Amino acid sequence: MNEYQIINESKQAALYRQHLSEKMARFQTILADTGFDEIVIGSGDSLSQFQDDMAYPFKANPYFKEWAPLNKRAGSFLQISATASKPKLFLLCVEDIWHTAPQNLPAGFEQGLDIIEYASIADIKPHLSDRESGTALINQANSLELAANSWNPQTVINHINYQRRSKTAYEQECVREANRQAIPAHIAARQAFMAGASELEIAAAYLAACNQSENEMPYSIIAGVNEHAAVLHHYNLDKQRQTPRSFLLDAGVDVNGYASDITRTYAYDPSSDFAAMIHAMDSAQRQLVAAGGIGKSPVDLHVLSQHKIAELLIDFDILQITAEEAVSTDITGSFYPHGLGHHLGCNVHDKGSNLANPQGDLLPKPEKYPKLRSGADMVANQIHTVEPGLYFIPAYLDKLKAGEHSAKINWTRIDDFSPYGGIRIEDNIIVHQDGSLENLTRDAFAAVE
């Protein structure tokens, strides 16, 4: 272990203890508001494949990971009680000669927890509230065999999701470190593309550079070469090498259960029009990042991003109308069919983004963009992605060509750009209490490059 790793682990342990204290205070409020004596959060259970003795790769409950960075430890429970000064962590410990030893907490993290080993659910029962419906269980399965109204009660989940919008200093540092660890892997993947590697070889280069397995990724790697860059979630990676033109990589890293979510797009020929379009998109993306801040509306920012993409399409002689007309007729939406971004945390698409209050009332959906992931105004200590895109998607282009706006589009230029697939550039940002914006992704790239 090098000096940076030692210092970083010590820093994370100290931040984690502060994190537990802050989360305990938040959850005491949730308990008071919902009437439960305690909240118990399970890590989840290992699931076997149908008619087989092989298990699926285990993914811990994201609500659990916010309290304990044990991504690989099934059957664990964390108890937050109205009367306890710190949370109890129940770890399943049974004799098992077939598998590697269970995952442990990072060094120093155990100091903020009351750790109890158990062998069966019966061992946990005496620790639970003796009041009927006094325990709220947040878990995929009702492992504690509680009454139905105590298992994943929506009132508690709404309150938890609402407070998740604001990240503690520990959570921010985890996502910051996840960005730092992802950047060398992004660079390795770009180098593999430039060397003519297949999509699968590029993904392998990424995993090797960040020293993680595919099952440890916060989400499946999206590595689209050429036309595949137009597939928004291109997971079925090609094993065959192609003559390289363009490359889109959407990939992150997991640190203590928290994700980075980063996208970059590259042109093989730096003198091509597509390379110039990437440069223009990069400039537009930076402007959209700068437009964010406390109190800013993600809906308004998405509308702004639609105009930015329309202007880019006009600048590259693809559209022969004004940006206002392109947005109002939703022509832009055929080239940019997703939202500008989302919250980021233990869920890659983090929760609470459309809640009006802790009670679970939803904000009204924007009439024109009802599927946006984020509707609530930005708040302090929130982590967002900012990821405008521009794609040449055959199904959408076919509809445009057959529609009433076909004459407003330069189809020769569409033919020029379609072999490159598309562009997405995505950064992770923190909205700080003082109003400043920290671009975790750009800072991490700058530190390496």
- On whether both 53 and 181 belong to a single domain, the answer is no
CA 24 to chain centre: 24
Please state, in angstroms and as integers, the Cα–Cα distance from residue 3 to each residue in 6, 7, 105, 212, following that order. 5, 6, 20, 21
The pLDDT of residue 258 is above 70: yes
Nearby residues of 352 by Cβ (< 8 Å), 6 or more positions away:
161, 162, 163, 164, 165, 343, 376
- Same domain? 207 vs 67: no
CATH code at 154?
3.40.350.10
**330 in the same domain as 193:** yes
Q: Is the pLDDT of residue 98 over 90?
A: no
Last residue of some domain: 163, 181, 203? Answer: 163
Are residues 289 and 330 both part of a single domain? yes
Domain end among 103, 136, 163: 163
Same domain, 380 and 267: yes
User: Would you state the pLDDT for residue 375?
Assistant: 94
In angstroms, how far is CA 135 from the centroid of its own chain? 30
Tokens 């363009």 sit at which residue?
246
CB-neighbour burial class of residue 157 (10 A; exposed 0-12, middle 13-18, buried 19+)? middle
Q: Which domain holds residue 315?
A: 169-448
Residues 6+ apart with CB under 8 A from 53: none
- Are 237 and 203 in contact by the 8 Å Cβ rule? The answer is yes
Regarding whether 236 and 143 lie in a shared domain, the answer is no
The DSSP bridge pattern shows strands 258-259 and 222-225 to be unpaired
Q: Report the largest interatomic distance among the alpha carbons of the chain, rounded to a whole angstrom.
A: 73
Running DSSP on this structure, what letter comes out for residue 164? T
pLDDT tens-digit series, residues 337-364: 999 999 999 999 999 999 999 999 999 9
For residue 114, give the amino acid letter. D
402 phi/psi in degrees, rounded to 5: -85, -5
| pLDDT beyond 80 at 283 | yes
Could you say which DSSP state residue 382 is in?
Answer: E
In terms of domains, do 408 and 301 share one? yes
Picking from 148, 163, 178, the residue at the C-terminal end of a domain is 163
Q: CA–CA separation, 426 vs 430, rounded Å?
A: 14
Question: What pLDDT shows up at residue 204?
Answer: 98
Round the average pLDDT of the chain to a whole number and report it: 96
Structure confidence by residue, pLDDT tens digits, 145-167: 999 999 999 999 999 999 999 99
Q: Can you tell me the distance from the alpha carbon of 63 to that of 140, in angstroms, rounded to the nearest whole number?
A: 11
Claim to verify: residue 197 and residue 137 sit in the same structural domain:
no
197 and 302 part of one domain = yes
Of the candidates 48, 90, 83, the one whose C-alpha atom is nearest the C-alpha of residue 67 is 90
* C-beta of residue 90 within 8 angstroms of C-beta of residue 66: no
**Do residues 123 and 193 both lie within one domain?**
no
The CATH number assigned to the domain holding 194 equals 3.90.230.10
Distance CA 269, CA 348 (A): 32
- Residue 367 burial class via C-beta count within 10 angstroms: exposed 0-12, middle 13-18, buried 19 and up: exposed
Q: How confident is the model at residue 95 (pLDDT cuts 50, 70, 90)?
A: confident
- Strands ordered across the beta sheet of 382-386: 382-386, 427-431, 437-439
- 123/212 same-domain check: no
Residue 5 clears pLDDT 70, i.e. is over it: no
- Total domains present in the chain: 2
Query: Where residue 230 falls among pLDDT bands split at 50, 70, 90?
Result: very high
Instruction: Give rounded-to-5 percent helix, strand, coil for the chain.
Output: 40, 15, 45
Average pLDDT over residues 394-404: 97
CA-CA-CA-CA torsion for 102, 107, 112, 116, nearest 10 degrees? Answer: 30
pLDDT tops 60 at residue 1: no
Same domain membership, residue 254 and residue 231? yes
Task: Using alpha carbons, select from 209, 201, 211, 267 the residue that is nearest to residue 237.
Answer: 201
pLDDT in tens, 167-226: 999 999 999 999 999 999 999 999 999 999 999 999 999 999 999 999 999 999 999 999
Close Cβ partners of 403 (under 8 Å, ≥ 6 residues apart): none
